[in-house]
Structure 1
Amino acid sequence: MMTRGYVFNFFVLALCTLMAISRANLDPTQMTTALLIRVDQSGKGDYKKIQDAINAVPSNNSELVFIWVKPGIYKEQIVVPVDKPFITLSGTNTTGTIITWNDSGDIFQSPTFTVLASDFVGRYLTIQNTFGAGNKAVALRVSGDRAAFYNCRILSHQDTLLDDTGRHYYKNCYIEGDTDFICGDAASLFEKCHLHSLSEGVGAITAQRRESPAENTGFTFLGCKITGVKTALLGRPWGAYSRVVFAFTYMSNVILPQGWDDWGDSSKQSTSYYGQYKCSGPGAITSRRVQWSHNLTIQEAAPFLTMDLISGKSWIRPAPTSFKKAPASISKNSDTGN
Structure 2
Amino acid sequence: MVLGCGFVISVVLLASVLAAGNGADSSSTAILVEVDQSGNGDYRKIQDAIDSVPSNNSDHIFILVKPGVYEEKIVVPADKPFITLSGTKATKTIITWNDSGEIFESPTFSVLASDFMARYLTIQNNYGAGAKAVALRVSGDRAAFMSCRILSHQDTLLDDKGRHYYSNCYVEGDTDFIFGNGASIFQKCHLHSLARGIGAITAQRRQTAEEETGFTFVKCKITGVKSAVLGRPWGNYSRVVFALTYMSNVVLPQGWDDWGDSSKQRTAYYGEYKCYGAGARTSKRVKWSRRLSSQEAAPYLRKDMIMIGGSSWIRSAPSHFRRISAVISHQPPK
Partner AA of 1:325 in structure 2: R
**Equivalents in 1 of 2:141, 2:198: separation in Å?**
32
Offset of residue 321 of structure 1: 1.6
Name the structure where helix makes up a greater proportion of residues: 1
Offset of residue 174 of structure 1: 0.2
Determine if contact 1:30/1:317 at 8 Å carries over to the other structure.
no
Offset of residue 109 of structure 1: 1.1
**Equivalents in 1 of 2:42, 2:159: separation in Å?**
31
Worse overlay, 303-312 or 98-107: 303-312
**Equivalents in 1 of 2:72, 2:329: separation in Å?**
20
Partner AA of 2:325 in structure 1: P
- Could you tell me which residue of structure 1 aligns to residue 96 of structure 2? 100
- Could you tell me which residue of structure 2 aligns to residue 11 of structure 1? none
Residue 274 and residue 30 in structure 1: after superposition, are their counterparts in 2 closer, same or farther (change >3 A)? farther
**Pair 1:127-2:123 in alignment:** yes
1:270-290 deviation digits (Å, cap 9, x = unpaired): 000000000000000000000
**Equivalents in 2 of 1:264, 1:142: separation in Å?**
28
- Could you tell me which residue of structure 2 aligns to residue 262 of structure 1? 258
Sequence identity of aligned pairs in percent? 72
Offset of residue 218 of structure 1: 0.1
1:10-36 deviation digits (Å, cap 9, x = unpaired): xxxxxxxxxxxxxxxxxxx99821000
Determine if contact 2:83/2:117 at 8 Å carries over to the other structure.
yes
**Equivalents in 1 of 2:180, 2:174: separation in Å?**
16
1:18-76 deviation digits (Å, cap 9, x = unpaired): xxxxxxxxxxx998210000000000000000000000000000000000000000000
Offset of residue 315 of structure 1: 2.1
**Pair 1:304-2:300 in alignment:** yes
Determine if contact 1:31/1:317 at 8 Å carries over to the other structure.
no
**Equivalents in 2 of 1:107, 1:116: separation in Å?**
14
- Could you tell me which residue of structure 1 aligns to residue 38 of structure 2? 42
Partner AA of 1:136 in structure 2: K
Offset of residue 83 of structure 1: 0.3
1:295-325 deviation digits (Å, cap 9, x = unpaired): 0001110110101121162421211121101
- Could you tell me which residue of structure 2 aligns to residue 274 of structure 1? 270
**Equivalents in 2 of 1:134, 1:166: separation in Å?**
28
- Could you tell me which residue of structure 2 aligns to residue 335 of structure 1? 333
Determine if contact 2:53/2:329 at 8 Å carries over to the other structure.
no
Partner AA of 2:318 in structure 1: P
1:202-233 deviation digits (Å, cap 9, x = unpaired): 21000000001010000000000000011111
SS state at 1:133 partner: coil
Determine if contact 2:54/2:327 at 8 Å carries over to the other structure.
no
Partner AA of 1:137 in structure 2: A
**Pair 1:185-2:181 in alignment:** yes
Which structure's CA Rg is the greater one?
1
**Equivalents in 1 of 2:26, 2:263: separation in Å?**
46
Compute the TM-score of the two structures, normalised by the length of structure 2: 0.90
Q: 1:225 pairs with 201, 221, 228, which one?
A: 221
SS state at 2:49 partner: helix
**Equivalents in 1 of 2:296, 2:100: separation in Å?**
39
Worse overlay, 326-335 or 157-166: 326-335
SS state at 2:176 partner: coil
List 4+ stretches of structure 1 deviating above 4 A: none
**Pair 1:325-2:320 in alignment:** no
**Equivalents in 2 of 1:309, 1:95: separation in Å?**
31
Partner AA of 2:293 in structure 1: T
Offset of residue 114 of structure 1: 0.2
Determine if contact 1:183/1:209 at 8 Å carries over to the other structure.
yes
**Equivalents in 2 of 1:306, 1:87: separation in Å?**
26
Q: 1:110 pairs with 91, 106, 111, which one?
A: 106
Offset of residue 326 of structure 1: 3.1
Offset of residue 335 of structure 1: 3.4
Partner AA of 2:63 in structure 1: I
**Equivalents in 1 of 2:253, 2:214: separation in Å?**
22
Partner AA of 1:169 in structure 2: Y
Determine if contact 2:198/2:226 at 8 Å carries over to the other structure.
no
Determine if contact 2:217/2:241 at 8 Å carries over to the other structure.
yes
Partner AA of 1:87 in structure 2: I
**Equivalents in 2 of 1:160, 1:125: separation in Å?**
15
**Equivalents in 1 of 2:327, 2:42: separation in Å?**
11
1:136-181 deviation digits (Å, cap 9, x = unpaired): 0000000000000000000000000000000000000000000000
Q: Structure 1: 5+ residue runs without aligned partners?
A: 1-28
**Equivalents in 1 of 2:242, 2:273: separation in Å?**
6
- Could you tell me which residue of structure 2 aligns to residue 89 of structure 1? 85
**Equivalents in 2 of 1:324, 1:48: separation in Å?**
20
**Equivalents in 1 of 2:58, 2:199: separation in Å?**
42
Partner AA of 2:320 in structure 1: S
Partner AA of 2:332 in structure 1: S
Alignment of 1:57-76 (within 5 A): 57-76=53-72
Partner AA of 2:279 in structure 1: G
- Could you tell me which residue of structure 2 aligns to residue 196 of structure 1? 192
Q: Structure 2: 5+ residue runs without aligned partners?
A: 1-24
SS state at 1:118 partner: coil
**Equivalents in 2 of 1:314, 1:214: separation in Å?**
26
Alignment of 1:17-28 (within 5 A): none
**Equivalents in 2 of 1:172, 1:84: separation in Å?**
26
